[in-house]
Amino acid sequence: MSKVLIIGAGGVGRVVTHKCAQIPEVFSEICLASRTKSKCDAIASQLEREISTAKVDADNVPETVALLKDFQPDLVINVALPYQDLTIMDACLEAGVNYLDTANYEPKDEAKFEYHWQWAYQERFKQAGLMALLGCGFDPGVTNIFTAHAKKHHFDRIDTLDIIDCNAGDHGKHFATNFNPEINIREVTANGRFYEKGEWKETEPLSVHRSFDFPEGIGPKDMYLMYHEEMESLAKHLPEIQRMRFWMTFSQQYLTHLRVLENIGMTRIDPIIYQGQEIVPLQFLKAVLPDPGSLGESTKGRTCIGCVLDGEKDGQPKHYYIYNICDHEQCFAEVNSQAVSYTTGVPAMIGAMMMLTDQWTGQGVFNVEQFNPDPFMDELNRHGLPWKEVILDGKPDVLKD
């Protein structure tokens, strides 16, 4: 029986709140907080049990501390913007509360996705006797746990890892992003990076692409090499891996719109002066694009996210694929959200469950692959994200050098 504070009332916050509310034996009291309390109230009205809601500016440490001291949660689930990770961690330290998030910190003025800002909190959380669990969404999150599961049960040594994220859904809009537009576009327009033999190598944005035949009828989709933060923590905690790459699918319609927006300067993150006021073009673009939380009702199709790994077991080469397929319409029927938010929110709830039931414990700052993957993998099957694994005859041709 535990109290949890969820900060963030976007699409992922909606999923986390719904899923926590389904398990009162673990999440006995829930408070959902956001800068806009009406969004929290709207989510609360969808639930079959009562929760509390609150207004909080997560950029404001004293205000966040005051809420923590008033509600006195056992854990904060941070599904606000990545810009706010550090202020929420600061508030947790001051109030003596454990912490969990789904995406690493990034500064507002630079599209830079790295863990070092949060890893620097290790000694402070350790000395406070608190635990911070980082990157417990799907990617990062489940993809890290898939890798830890593969290492524990299928490989003596992992040589290569390809993380593959496909959204084969269709929301019917000319252009929209399936999660926060500002974060999504910053991520997609950044240089690609992959890890090889202890070094990071950069590519021009979306300059490397392959076509992968996704399972269970999804079929061939174009996927593009990008940088994603789970590779940074996996390189640290599984240094045996010689090469890691992250791939994500995009439609040509999405890419065409993105190129136009880039060419006219709408994806810029540096401020400009407009009619005597300072604005950031990308933040203005976010304001006029569809809210990702509104896409659930119209989105059809499925996502497929997984890992292809190569290595050795018992002296023999082994090729392995583990993945989850998630249906947009089924997600909306359950929690009023599309599958991209669902695949992030469910793992956040499960990670919180792991902490609150003492299946994952520690003092300091951790990434999910540092813990036993087995109980988490079991809960994925129970709570809407069942996984499948396939032993491959060989490495897929598309992923060969």
> In this model, does residue 391 exceed pLDDT 80?
yes
DSSP label of 286: H
Q: Report whether 6 contacts 30 (CB < 8 A).
A: yes
Average pLDDT over residues 342-358: 98
pLDDT at residue 182, rounded to an integer? 73
Inter-helix orientation angle 328-335/339-356, to 10°: 60
- Nearest CA to 347 out of 322, 320, 324 is that of 324
Domains and their CATH numbers in the chain:
2-134 (3.40.50.720), 142-336+386-399 (3.30.360.10)
pLDDT at residue 251, rounded to an integer? 79
Q: Report whether 89 contacts 118 (CB < 8 A).
A: yes
- Nearest CA to 183 out of 253, 105, 245 is that of 105
What pLDDT digit, counting tens, does each position of 161-218 carry? 999 999 987 776 777 676 677 777 777 788 899 999 999 999 998 899 999 999 999 9
pLDDT at residue 400, rounded to an integer? 85
What pLDDT digit, counting tens, does each position of 256-304 carry? 777 877 777 888 878 888 888 888 888 887 887 777 767 667 789 999 9
Name all contacts of 280-287 with Cβ < 8 Å and 24+ positions apart. Answer: 282/181, 282/182, 282/185, 282/186, 283/182, 285/181, 285/182, 285/185, 285/261, 286/180, 286/181, 286/182
pTM of the model: 0.93
3-state secondary structure of 194: strand
Average pLDDT over residues 59-86: 97
101 CA to centre of own chain: 8
DSSP percent split of the chain into helix, strand, coil, nearest 5: 35, 30, 35
Residues ≥6 apart with Cβ < 8 Å to 112: 106
Query: Which tokens is 205 given?
Result: 């944005």
In Å, the largest CA–CA distance within the chain is: 68
